[in-house]
Amino acid sequence: MKSIDDLKLIVMDNCKELGEQIDNHLKKIRKNKESYIVPIKLTRFNNGEGKSCLTESIRGKDVYIISDIGNYSCTYKMFDFTNHMSPDDHYQDIKRIILSTMGHAKSVNVVMPLLYEARQHRRKSRESLDCALALQELEHLGIKGIITFDAHDPNVQNAIPNLPFDNFYTTNDTLRTFLEKEEINKDELLVISPDMGAMERARYLAEILQVDVGMFYKRRDLSKIVDGKNPVVAHEYLGKSVKDKDIIIVDDMIASGGSIIDVAHELKSKKARKIYCFTTFTLFTMGSAIFDNAYNKGWIDKIYTSNLSYIPENIQEKPWLEIVDCSLYAARIIDTLNKDESITDLSIYNSARYNFFSADDN
């Protein structure tokens, strides 16, 4: 059996709070008082180029690098201005840290809850194939495996067939929190996919809850590109009547929120009752005003999202937002993988065996 002392965490500056929560859970799980976190230094030259340094030995250790590439609050000085870090900057820092560990660590794993370039997972015409290339770069750097959550398209792992790619879902944690907070009658509940791409997620959630599932089809204007994608012309609903039903809209991420709000508005026009959104990542790329407006108009009741990626403090306390703590889940994943044990029981595919409604519930 592997020693529990061979585990080390490298927590990037972009996810300190999450990393510390994971560390605290690991200490409790392993009955250890010592922190697993290795201190690091990430510095920048005046022109924006960077370098990394480990300030503690990781020789012979099983290292897990935890990074939130979606944290746009991180900044650095570049020439005479302050630059906000982009996902590209965070990804480069991951590679710098990997290079700092090479030749010293026994193995290196990258924990990237929000997968870098996940939405650019396939090529159309002359487009770049960024997610696949990034995964191959990490493989070429010699890492042992990649851990991520709710990848936009898990099939992108085919770009690295020889490298473990563990994709987990936050469904169980979200459902438990949801059922603690809301009064739900499953006979009056529907799960809705906002588009064809989220249908598999919606179907799994519906099977767990043993309720019906519906779907929206996005009609897009293929002659135009706005913000990197074809704009949606209309949302066409396919499925059972939503009249007088409570609705859960499920997707991997909400970016600007425009599409999910359009779907919620359409459901309200069809006489749906309460509308909840389940999403692993909520990016708020256009701020929170669109959600405030939708909440005030009664189009949405609450968004359930994880703490696996950055959410600005001024948005965290919004009445329409419920942040689900997934740090214990992440700690259990790291603990299990470090011990070379099976991750089967941690997978969503076993969630259907759990009965989230007791026999006394509706």
Domain boundaries, the chain: 4-168, 171-324
Residues 6+ apart with CB under 8 A from 121: 129, 131, 132, 151, 152, 153, 155, 156
Backbone angles phi and psi of 339, in degrees to 5: -85, 5
pLDDT computed for residue 5 by the predictor: 79
pLDDT computed for residue 67 by the predictor: 98
Mean pLDDT on 65-86: 96
Task: Tell me whether domains 4-168 and 171-324 share a fold.
Answer: yes
Mean pLDDT on 353-362: 47
The band of 361, judged by pLDDT with boundaries at 50, 70 and 90, is very low
The band of 346, judged by pLDDT with boundaries at 50, 70 and 90, is confident
Residues 6+ apart with CB under 8 A from 274: 246, 247, 301
CA distance 260 to 265: 9
CA distance 303 to 321: 5
Cα angle vertex 346, ends 341, 348, to 5°? 145
- What digits encode the pLDDT tens for the residues 122-169? 888 888 999 999 999 999 999 999 999 999 999 999 999 999 999 999
264-296 burial, b if ≥16 CB within 10 A, otherwise e? bbbbbeeebebbbbbbbbbbbeeebeebeebbe
Q: Measure Cα distances from 255 to 129, 251, 283 in Å.
A: 20, 11, 5
CA distance 161 to 120: 18
Mean pLDDT on 46-74: 96
N-terminal to C-terminal alpha carbon distance within the chain: 46
Mean pLDDT on 15-40: 97
The band of 350, judged by pLDDT with boundaries at 50, 70 and 90, is very low
Write out the H or E segment, with its range, that includes residue 148: strand 145-149
Longest C-alpha distance within the chain, in Å?
64
Residues 6+ apart with CB under 8 A from 75: 82, 83, 84, 85
| pLDDT, the chain, mean | 91
CA distance 116 to 72: 13
Residues 6+ apart with CB under 8 A from 192: 202, 213, 214, 215, 216, 239, 242, 247, 248, 249, 250, 263, 267
Q: Does the pTM of the predicted model rise above 0.75?
A: yes
Q: Fold for domain 171-324?
A: Rossmann fold (3.40.50)
Cβ atoms of 202 and 239 closer than 8 Å = no
**Both tokens assigned to 206:** 């519906």
Q: Which residues pair with 65 in a beta bridge?
A: 10, 110
* Number of residues that this document lists for the chain: 362
Nearest to 307 by CA among 7, 20, 1, 55: 20
**pLDDT of residue 50 exceeding 80:** yes
The CATH number given to 4-168 is 3.40.50.2020
